[in-house]
Amino acid sequence: MDLDGKTLLLTGGSAGIGRELARQLKDKGAQVVLTGRNAERLDAMREEGFEVIEADLSNPQGVDALIARWGERALDVLINNAGQLVDHDFRKSKPDADAADNCIYANLNAPIRLTVGLIELLKARPQATIVNVTSGLAIAPAARTPVYCATKAALRFYTLGLREQLKDTNIQVIEALPPVVDTQMNDGNPMKKMPAEECARHILVAIERDRDEANIGLTKALRIAESLSPALAKGVTLRF
């Protein structure tokens, strides 16, 4: 897809991968509308020239409000990037069930609901794209974050099914699978982290080249390991 002049909705665009992706998309000539929850970060992105929408996507009301605010505006690309990571480790303490619910909604329900709510706008364009950002942990899980891993695996399977359903339409469905990226979400993670700017660049390339998947960084090796031996892949990631 040639992004020049295209209108994009990017969720979770005020920090981390989303912020870097917003900047790179803008450099390509795209009109980027981004969402976030932190007013200060949104103000900073507004100062960079972005249109921003404050939206909490961890509940139905927040998602429905975003869809309503978008209205009938043209939409060429929907990027479901917003996500939450929640510790859910019984080895440390009793997990917070409410935090788990919020994580599940933000990571899985919100992308599904946004897709349903905005798909007719995407169908109305000559060419359109949906990008769902999952994770390398959608392939094999980490023991300390099973809720996060479950949501990303579920979104991966949703994306695979959605792509099959839309294969004869104007809509390209892309899955981006980042490795561990140097963002606030991964503060304290001892693993080597990819810079957010580099991860965003790989997602951008996948959009421009109409690729079905962007297996980024160490996710490529994980995909190979999983294809050879699912038990081997799980044995590597479950330790983290």
Active site residues: 148
**DSSP H or E segment with residue 147:** helix 146-165
Please, which residues have CB within 8 angstroms of residue 159's CB and are 6 or more apart in sequence? 132, 134, 173, 175
Beta bridge partners of 77: 8, 129
- Got the DSSP string for 80-126? E---------TTTS---HHHHHHHHIIIIIHHHHHHHHHHHHHHTSS
Question: To 10 degrees, what angle do helices 110-123 and 60-70 make?
Answer: 20
The tokens for 91 are: 């080895």
Question: To 10 degrees, what angle do helices 97-104 and 146-165 make?
Answer: 20
CA dihedral 193, 133, 239, 84 (to 10 degrees): 90
- Phi, psi (degrees; rounded to nearest 5) at 10: -115, 110
- Phi, psi (degrees; rounded to nearest 5) at 163: -60, -40
